[in-house]
Amino acid sequence: MKTITVNRNVLSKNDEIAEKIRGELAAKGIRMINFLGTPGSGKTTVLENVLANPELDKSRIAVIEGDLFTDLDAQRMAEIGIRTIQLNTEGACHLEADMVEKGLAELDLDGIDTIIVDNIGNLVCTAAFQIGAHMRVCVASTTEGNDKPLKYPNMFATADVVLLNKMDLAPYTNFDVDRFVSDVKKLNPNVEIHLCTAYKNEGLEPVVKLFANK
Amino acid sequence: MKTITVNRNVLSKNDEIAEKIRGELAAKGIRMINFLGTPGSGKTTVLENVLANPELDKSRIAVIEGDLFTDLDAQRMAEIGIRTIQLNTEGACHLEADMVEKGLAELDLDGIDTIIVDNIGNLVCTAAFQIGAHMRVCVASTTEGNDKPLKYPNMFATADVVLLNKMDLAPYTNFDVDRFVSDVKKLNPNVEIHLCTAYKNEGLEPVVKLFANK
């Protein structure tokens, strides 16, 4: 199983860089939040609606967008007036600490106290790779089926906050919200779970509060 | 960018094994179909409903289930009486050719002419890693948003068949089916695209036909 060994070496080097980033940002009074979830779970739509909220001072928040090739998501952030850097992994399925380090070097951090990293859509490697963040938010959705916490336990076990998105579609699916909450809590008893419908800007108050509080 | 270099070495060795598998299966008159898509797109639900169709001779079809840790999907296949092997990647985000080779060695291939590999939910690495299959089917869904073909082009460019699932939910989303079809066709002019609602067993006839025809 060569790849797994290789990944372990990469992970150990990666974690060193992540630790350095985490410390340096903390010393500057900046916290970094890693936004994770499956492709299409609604990560960027959550950010779009939360960051457009007038309660938030947009001049203190920056976004690092991760994507394989495009800058579609960075365009969405730029439209709402958020300072944004696009990282393109050119095919890699997750952000790594050295990529984030390069992004941070190009980002004007003057006046910034919160950086949000909108990671690649992936439930596996994005959870395995530290990027130097101080907190993880996982966006899941009711259209993904109930088996995801059990099938991708590391993602849900390491999240500080889980947002269950697309609550408007839940009545048209066989998704069981109570079971999802209970499965996530079994993996991660201290996690905060919030239900929302991001594109309708419903249920996003806890995320606004999270970004507003320093 | 160490990981990318590492991945290239792994990919080249992987492709050799994949080529060997592809040739050996073809020599035995067996074709292998790689089922791909994002977590929760409905890959296993498509397979469940198609394989339960009485038009298909279940004794000639076997399934290799890929998952990180659980055997939830293999249990679903076993319930409908399909010969199944579960591969657990123990954290890796995609199947590789050597894992599939091990699965094939344990699978009783007597009378089998079609093997379906239900890959890990992932739009990136599963498309990058050959596993020795003769055909790729990508399951996408209307709840994932319209940007997926542009954001994950390799997945859609290398698929022989794209199933657009969860058509029943399309009216409750802002998903534009025509735009999806047009974006996929731009990346892959020869691809077959079919619309379906897998859990209602609607629109799956083309997949039944695909599995029935040798």
φ and ψ at residue B17, rounded to 5 degrees: -65, -40
**Confidence category of residue A9, pLDDT binned at 50, 70, 90:** low
Give the range among A179-183, A186-190, B75-79, B202-206 with minimum mean pLDDT: B75-79
A166 shares contact with chain B (CB less than 8 Å): yes
**Which residues in chain A have Cβ-Cβ distances shorter than 8 Å to B169?**
143, 169, 172-173
Who has greater pLDDT, A62 or B2? A62
The encoded tokens of residue A181 equal 């909450």
Nearest C-alpha neighbor of A136 from the set A11, A34, A2: A34
Using DSSP's 3-state secondary structure scheme, residue A117 falls into strand
Which of A6, A120, A166 faces B143 most closely, judged by CB atoms?
A166
How many residue contacts between A and B have a Cβ separation below 8 Å?
Answer: 124
Per-residue pLDDT tens, chain B, 214 aa: give them: 223 334 556 778 999 999 999 999 999 999 999 999 999 999 999 999 999 999 999 999 999 999 999 999 999 999 999 999 999 998 899 999 999 999 999 999 999 999 999 999 999 999 999 999 999 999 999 999 999 999 999 999 999 999 999 999 999 999 999 999 999 999 999 999 999 999 999 999 999 999 997 6
**Which residues in chain A have Cβ-Cβ distances shorter than 8 Å to B39?**
38, 123, 144, 148, 151-152
**Confidence category of residue A8, pLDDT binned at 50, 70, 90:** low
Chosen for mutation from A17, A90, A144 (greatest number of chain B CBs closer than 10 Å) is A144
Which of B39, B152, B172 faces A172 most closely, judged by CB atoms?
B172
Contact A40 B7 (CB under 8 A): no
Q: Residue B214: its pLDDT value, please?
A: 65
Contact B69 A151 (CB under 8 A): yes
B153 shares contact with chain A (CB less than 8 Å): yes
Contact B122 A93 (CB under 8 A): yes
Dihedral, CA of residue A138, residue A4, residue B84 and residue B100, to nearest 10: 130
**pLDDT tens digit sequence for A93-145:** 999 999 999 999 999 999 999 999 999 999 999 999 999 999 999 999 999 99
Residues 108-147 of B with CB under 8 A from A: 120-125, 128, 141, 143-145, 147
Contact B4 A151 (CB under 8 A): no
Q: What is the mean pLDDT of chain A?
A: 93
For residue A199, the 8-state DSSP code is G
Nearest CA in chain A to B70: A151
Q: Residue B4: its pLDDT value, please?
A: 30
Neighbours of B20 (CB within 10 A): 13
Contact A39 B123 (CB under 8 A): yes
φ and ψ at residue A88, rounded to 5 degrees: -110, 125
CA distance A52 to A165: 18
List, in order, residues 6 or more apart from A149 with CB less than 8 Å away: A156, A180, A183, A184, A187
Contact A3 B10 (CB under 8 A): yes
